[in-house]
């Protein structure tokens, strides 16, 4: 069958690719070259599948921008030959990677679906098979000869989310991810329910894929807490090379009103550090100026992170700085949704 969609599986590591050695009880890497013989169910899918693996698969706690560039490069060099991509990835940092790739792949019109699992693929009670099979099925979904999903998604436990809207919320439940501020774009039940209004839309005139491989790592995240001292705040704000700080504030973007606090932020901003206001709540949005406690932040020109996740905020900062966006434009561009990552 020649016109079946052709799907590329990219294995980066993580629990999903592990099998139990029943003699020793230890987990060992699954041989993806033997994928079809190990999971014969895949033969029933209406698509062809090829796979490629990181030379040394990693636990996703070791993920870094260098590996994101590797994933982006694999997609770039196989973009024309495949109709969709499934990235098998450890769940721990999957939301960071899905967010980063969403920014790196500009004008993406093919599905890039991240998935993983809580239990190894070789485990009796594994969630890996369902996650893998449905991710491939979603990557192969076509309507009028075009992919249904034309963005970076994250599929886990019966739901496909927009990747840059997700966050890992549970270390042991099969339902490990959530997308607090954006509904799932596909739900898997007896049928695949596609929530069409929530799919990322592209302009009618197709533009070629642009793969951005410059990411600036001079960024950091600081979570506010009552009792944060001037000493610790200033040591972060004056760290050598710091260009952007994602500040996880309280509630709807609130922070202390004390003069020393505002002055520390203001002097960092004047030195050219971009400070992005993101809520530390798991859902909802920053509303700059809504309370007295955020009016001052607005006045000193903190960047309004609106309803962005911390994962999307830090990777968006790396992407914008890597693209040498000027200091004058950083705030305006950051506050604009580039890949559906914010309202």
Q: Return the number of the residue (118 or 309) whose C-beta is nearest ligand ASP.
A: 118
Selected catalytic residue, list 12, 15, 126, 315: 15
Give me 107's structure tokens: 């004008």
CA dihedral (36, 39, 44, 46) in degrees, to 10, reads -60
Q: Which is nearer to ligand ASP, 118 or 126 (CB)?
A: 118
Binding residues for ligand ASP restricted to 209-238, rule: CB under 6 A: none
- Cβ neighbours for 110, distance < 8 A, ≥ 6 positions apart: 79, 82, 83, 84, 85, 147, 150
Angle at 148 between CA 147 and CA 151, to 5 degrees: 85
Nearest to 78 by CA among 10, 152, 146: 10
Nearer to ligand ASP, 134 or 294 (CB): 134
Nearest Cα residue to 12 out of 105, 139, 162, 112? 112
The pattern of x and - marking residues 35 through 64 that bind ligand ASP according to CB under 6 A reads: ------------------------xxx---
Member of 9, 10, 11, 14 binding ligand ASP (CB under 6 A): 14
Contacts to ligand ASP from residues 68-107, by CB under 6 A: 90-92
73 is catalytic: no
Footprint (CB under 6 A) of ligand ASP, residues 118-137: 118
Question: Which tokens is 183 given?
Answer: 């509904």
341 binds ligand ASP (CB under 6 A): no
Smaller CB separation from ligand ASP, 46 or 59: 59
Structure tokens at 137: 């099925």
| Residues with catalytic function | 15
Q: Which residues bind ligand ASP (CB under 6 A)?
A: 13-15, 59-61, 90-92, 116, 118
């Amino acid at each position: 069958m020649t016109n079946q969609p052709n799907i590329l599986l990219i294995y980066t590591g993580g629990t999903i690719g592990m099998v139990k050695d029943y003699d020793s009880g230890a987990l060992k890497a699954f041989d993806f070259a033997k994928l079809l013989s190990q999971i014969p169910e895949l033969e029933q899918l209406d698509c062809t599948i090829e796979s490629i693996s990181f030379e040394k698969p990693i636990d996703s706690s070791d993920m870094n921008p260098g590996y994101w560039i590797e994933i982006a490069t694999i997609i770039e060099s196989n973009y024309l030959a495949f109709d969709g991509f499934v990235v098998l990835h450890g769940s721990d940092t999957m939301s960071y990677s899905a967010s980063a790739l969403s920014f790196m792949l500009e004008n993406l019109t093919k599905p890039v679906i991240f998935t993983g699992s809580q239990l190894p693929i070789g485990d009796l009670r594994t969630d890996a098979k369902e996650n893998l099979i449905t991710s491939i099925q979603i990557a192969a979904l076509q309507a009028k000869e075009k992919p249904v999903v034309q963005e970076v998604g994250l599929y886990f436990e019966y739901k496909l989310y927009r990747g840059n809207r997700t966050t890992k919320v549970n270390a042991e439940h099969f339902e490990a991810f959530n997308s607090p501020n954006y509904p799932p774009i596909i739900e898997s039940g007896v049928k695949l329910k596609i929530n069409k209004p929530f799919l990322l839309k592209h302009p009618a005139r197709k533009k070629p894929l642009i793969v951005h491989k410059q990411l600036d790592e001079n960024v950091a995240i600081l979570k506010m807490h009552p009792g944060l001292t001037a000493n610790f705040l200033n040591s972060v704000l004056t760290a050598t090379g710091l260009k952007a700080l994602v500040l996880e504030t309280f509630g709807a973007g609130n922070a202390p009103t004390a003069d020393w606090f505002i002055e520390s932020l203001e002097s960092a901003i004047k030195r050219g550090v971009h400070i992005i206001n993101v809520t530390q709540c798991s859902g909802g949005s920053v509303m700059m100026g809504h309370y007295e406690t955020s009016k001052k932040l607005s006045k000193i020109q903190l960047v309004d992170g609106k309803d962005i996740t911390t994962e999307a905020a830090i990777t968006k900062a790396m992407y914008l700085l890597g693209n040498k966006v000027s200091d004058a434009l950083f705030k305006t561009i950051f506050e604009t949704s580039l890949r559906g990552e914010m309202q």
